[in-house]
Amino acid sequence: MRKRVGKYELGRTLGEGSFAKVKYARNVQTGNSVAIKILDKHHVFRHNMVEQIKREISTMKLIKHPNVVQISEVIASKTKIYIVLEFVDGGELFDKIVNHGRLKQDEVRRYFHQLIDAVDYCHSRGVYHRDLKPENLLLDSFGVLKVSDFGLSAFAPQIREDGLLHTACGTPNYLAPEILNDKGYDGTTSDVWSCGVILFVLMAGYLPFDEQNITILYKKISKADYSFPAWFSSGAKKLIARILDPNPSTRITIPEILSDEWFKKGYKPPSFEHGEVVSLDDIDAVFNNSEVVTKHKGKRRRKPESMNAFELISRSQGFNLGNLFEKQMGLVKRETRFTSQCPPNEIISKLEEAAKPLGFNVRKHNYKMKLQGDKSGRKGHLSVATEVFEVAPSLHMVELRKTGGDTLEFHKAWVNMFWLESTVVPRIPGECLRASMEEMVTALELRKWHSLQELLHCYLKVNQRKNHKAIVLAFMDLRGKGFSLVTTT
């Protein structure tokens, strides 16, 4: 029997961090899908995170907007806090950039409209996000943008007597210069700066400020030292230049953005009901010794956990199962998955064999595996959670999720594992070949190889075959990404 939390049946893990897990769940009364963020009370108290969690819950209860992830309810037990959230099934906006590179201008503008609407609404409620980035922007199956992760948000009451916020937080590449100066900052203008960086990333496919050396990175941000790619339109460049103004007092405001000619093209203000006044009085009760009925499946498993139809559909983009089985090698922000007809024990064994030469320490339990990198990267040690699920009696889905470390390092490690142990992944001509070539070109974009010729040579060596025609066709499909068609002898 699956674990139950109140009226919700918990499924598999969608994401995992140091202090929380996010699981897919289904309301057994309505059949609706939700995402449940699970926090351990002991960790919350031990790391003095009570106020941060209260702030996150309060923020999400206050913000009722179509472009912000909605909170349904909060449930508590003696040991856990369960935050029931809207399930957004289209993945992260970051996924689109990783998989497809830069986006077309009209598509970027549509997402930027929704981002500005959401941020403007948050500010009108006295809430400042403070960690805006593509990883925190989700898309539903209809392409509607949803702002998520309010864990670092701030309320107006946190502003000091000088009218400024004083806690530096957020992701370095998206931080406004005034936050780095550590002299206090206006949450409104700093969020606008982050929106400008996001706009640049969506149109360029890369960050305007990106340096390995943190000191150099901060200097470039402080001076707004960046350059525009040739394909940016004059209107987009003008708007971004006004947003990425290092002086917060002269930086463009949201009302001015709404009046900008580039922004106004195709813009329609959102229409929605603002809802009733929300009470925050019940939030303290979450940290009391509450009880919630749960049921566990406690025995050691003899086979991988089965994936029911609800979960299977939830993991396929746009509720199209073809995406799940035809495009098996697609990269995503924090996770990647593929299907295999190998026995589950063999899958775990082969992945372990592939992971150890890459410097991972491996811990296994049932059909789950934790990989911990032995070297510290840009954002600490890379850690990956792996799990095998049974989709059918002879078909398994393998999922790898980044639980710590740098995203690009995760992508590189996955590509390396894919080549070191290719027997786990089915070798089928056509769609799978095409997808695997896209995977490798993504690795090329991460500067793992210096040329497509070198990349192609590596592919032929690993697969021990020279199916030139199929590979050339695959490269033809990738020409739109800006790569040249090449052949090899």
Token pair for 384: 């990956």
Structure confidence at residue 309 (pLDDT): 47
Strands 368-377, 380-392: parallel, antiparallel or unpaired by DSSP?
antiparallel
pLDDT tens sequence across 178-233: 887 766 667 788 889 999 999 999 999 889 998 878 889 889 999 999 999 999 99
DSSP sequence for 112-137: HHHHHHHHHHHHHTTEE-S---GGGE
Q: Which of 213, 140, 200, 144 is nearest to 172 (CA)?
A: 213
Check if CATH label 3.40.710.10 holds for domain 4-86.
Answer: no
The Cβ of residue 365 has, within 10 Å, a number of other Cβ atoms equal to 9
Q: What angle do CA 324, 328, 334 make, to 5 degrees?
A: 85
Is 131 in the active site?
A: yes
| pLDDT, tens digit (0-9, with 9 covering 90-100), for 271-327 | 776 555 455 555 555 666 555 545 554 455 566 666 554 454 445 443 333 333 333
Whole-number Å distance between alpha carbons of 90 and 314? 9
Give domain limits for the chain: 4-86, 91-157+170-259, 302-321+332-478
**Residues 6 or more apart whose Cβ sits within 8 Å of residue 467:** 429, 433
Tokens found for residue 191: 């969020």
Output the CA torsion sign for 347, 353, 356, 361: positive
**Is 237 among the annotated ligand-binding positions?**
no
C-alpha dihedral sign at 146, 148, 154, 157: positive
What pLDDT, on the 0 to 100 scale, is given for residue 422? 52
Confidence (pLDDT) at 282: 56
pLDDT digits over 169-191, tens only?
A: 446 888 888 887 766 667 788 88
| CATH class given for the domain over 302-321+332-478 | alpha beta
Count CA within 13 A, CB hemisphere, residue 352.
16
73, 22 contact by CB (below 8 A): no
Contact yes or no for 106/318 (Cβ under 8 A): no
**pLDDT value of position 431:** 34
How much is the mean pLDDT over the chain? Answer: 72
Question: So what's the pLDDT on residue 287?
Answer: 62
Task: Tell me the average pLDDT across 41-65.
Answer: 77
Half-sphere exposure of 307 (CA within 13 A, CB side): 22
Q: Given a cut of 70, is residue 457 above it in pLDDT?
A: no
pLDDT attached to residue 334:
60
pLDDT at 236: 96
Q: Tell me, what's the pLDDT at 1?
A: 59
Q: Identical fold at 4-86 and 302-321+332-478?
A: no
pLDDT for 103-145, tens place per residue?
999 999 999 999 999 999 888 877 787 788 888 889 988 889 9
Report the C-alpha gap between 389 and 344 in whole angstroms: 8
Per-residue confidence (pLDDT) for residue 295, from 0 to 100: 53
Lookup: tokens for 238 = 């003008």
As to burial, measured by CB atoms within 10 angstroms (0-12 exposed, 13-18 middle, 19+ buried), residue 60 is buried
pLDDT in tens, 9-23: 988 887 776 677 888
Q: Given the residues 117, 131, 149, 186, select the one marked as catalytic.
A: 131
Q: How confident is the model at residue 243 (pLDDT cuts 50, 70, 90)?
A: very high
Q: How far is CA 238 from CA 103, 226, 244, 476, in A?
A: 19, 14, 10, 35
* pTM summary value: 0.59
pLDDT at 299: 52
The CATH H-level (homologous superfamily) assignment of domain 91-157+170-259 is Transferase(Phosphotransferase) domain 1 (1.10.510.10)
